[in-house]
Structure 1
């Protein structure tokens, strides 16, 4: 065997759970960092990667060294093994940092300098059951590349659990070409993440984390401020709490000004605070994103000159609650105030609503003076942007709240939705009467809005049979859209039933038949926008709608925009949320 192959073997790690049982494999990618699969870490710790990064240290061993090297490592980065939005397997990668250095003669795995080719021979060492101490070799043929950074392999024997995270050695290229992730035992097939995908993760995200990690604890606020300055308006994910979360979130964002990656923009904003990192960050930008040094210098200069000013963002909550002693409804209101639209710091204030219980017909044509009074209270408490979110009982979800009007001192009353984004929320999801059983699905679907997809890609068409809608949701769609008249929410089995049963956070529907009133083209154009723009885009459409044109689409669209991370502080299902 060659020296390269010996280096390869010595870089292989066996990953153990707390009981000392082998759960998978990993390998050294630099002197201090190890790649493995996210699902291996999930099995080791018994947790899901949808939560925060674990603080528990991972035990591992390097068995091809004499004596066997025992180490501990912490998780600093992981990517999920399932992309919910596109219903495709994502990049199943976890990056570990060793707690203590390895001996200097233990080197990172040798990487193949050329791309693997069809029918190349491979071998891989894993630690399946029965071989969890000494390991077991498997070999076969590389069938070729797949879309999304994957390699398809065909093994001579079945690849069993225990090989996940193992580096795949290409005999012809004399180097590692991928990382084993999953297998089809029956057909002796397996999939590996290509070394190119791993290299991109390491170069673009891992190395930046490595540079910033020593500064994070002492300069957390500075790093968080740089992240917030790069966060686009309307970005739907939670605010990250760790450095790795910041970097991961930035990598998912669309490019910023001048088509610049948000991660590079983020790094440039850190230079004034960390001048000692300037040269290293410049090299990182060049290596990972091919950003020339002159361009990075320009970004750093602009970061100093153009500090983004904070903009306050507030949310007026209007609650419609069933009256306990009649078939009428009580109205309540409160204002949620963010000190900065890029910040997670919020305040909440209950507003005064002096009104007797209302019937459904009275709710449909709410008195403009009442809404004007509520708005005046909110404006006394906050300035800046305002969005109106109305929490309706399930049976009233078809209520046309966007047609509610406010007084105008110099003109006739006009719809609130012409001045502010107005969206529907679902009262039952807050858990005041009983827990909402689809909370987890609701949260997971909402997180997928950060993918910034257009409405066509993310909202399943609900003008078809329910079975077809279910197929779309199974494929990864997270919301609904409908252009024909929706049956009342009180009728079972319709669109509103699907919303509740599937934890749907976003739905766009019309209260008239779009095609029959000649608005199909305008509707199709709306579906081409990014889903995160919907509230503000609808507000713009409503504002431009002629008030006397009753067939115009702007008079008849409703939007469910149900953010599980923006709720009143007393909501029973969310009392652990920080507001």
Structure 2
């Protein structure tokens, strides 16, 4: 698909423009004779007029002269609006295709994400058709979408969004930037033009909070064989402040998993394989290291059975032979996988998360409810009556307690994985930890883990045993499928 072989919808539009400008066989014959010294009868004789036009376009396409056909036709009939429009569209489309077609195989997902980002909200809210699965289909789909009223073409917005993914090889990215300069109505609104813009962009990167999302879900193989194997997926978000899983998700990178063994289920891994798998994900982040400066916060989406697994203590191998648990080097937070399976309490969850954000500058202690109930029924009643937004637990929650936390849409829960301390008062230690602003809690938990790591096993420390459930309803993989997750 290049200037000599454009997509089918564009060929049809060229034929339509020629029929509009030269509505009879005689007028078309005159144009070809005057502009090309071509005898129409030698090209196409005895056919229906639309078939003649089709054959003319086909012959010019075969000789890679469609641009010349359009230009000469416009010279012969300079006032025809369809010819004027098709000249611009042909130039824009074919020049873009020449740049992007070599990238289609490896970057079709990024192209689909950029396409979605250009679609009106109502199309995203009521998505019935499958996404276009080729560059040609993406460009053709733009024909069915009304052009925006902000004076910028959809195809230009598509290229701008594609550049924002950061996945385009540098030489091609430079070609796309030049393409925008030549074809955008307002290139300065899309491309950085000043050093101040560059400085601002660098500052945004400096302030960005990146996230690594890792989802583990029990596989069918696990249910059949009663073995702890899990389906694993991962995504990377360079800057959470510039991300929306529904509307602005093109900057979220889907990470690859290692090629599975021929005899094993695709993307299925055991807990023993998890350290190497996490290492594999972290190594992929190196290619994005210029997009962010902070260490990523790692969010694990887990089934109930794994929420009490000490995932923050997983030791990641490295080149330095230093055994450092994951939660020491990174801020590790937990998410309940169950909350995204046909979750009926989305509204309550969003409301409570808004309360968390509104109280982000207040001390945690004033927002956390203490739960020491043995009965899940008592806990449910207590949380509902309090309209609690955060909970602290002095012992690991059983599955029933975790279900109550999900059922009552609690966004933040902090608990101790053990409480049989002999030299410290865990309740006092938790209260000291919670003497911080609620938005600082993930980093405070990481700090406690770091302090505990420094002491080793010589002293008791709650930092060895902290678990934080941090349910941000806006921190999700792009276009997550709630029915299959």
Q: TM-score, normalised by structure 2?
A: 0.49
State the structure with more CA Rg.
Answer: 2
Per residue, is there more helix in 1 or in 2?
2
Which structure is higher in strand share? 1
**Whose RCO is larger (CA < 8 A, sep 6+)?**
2
Give the structure-1-normalised TM-score: 0.41
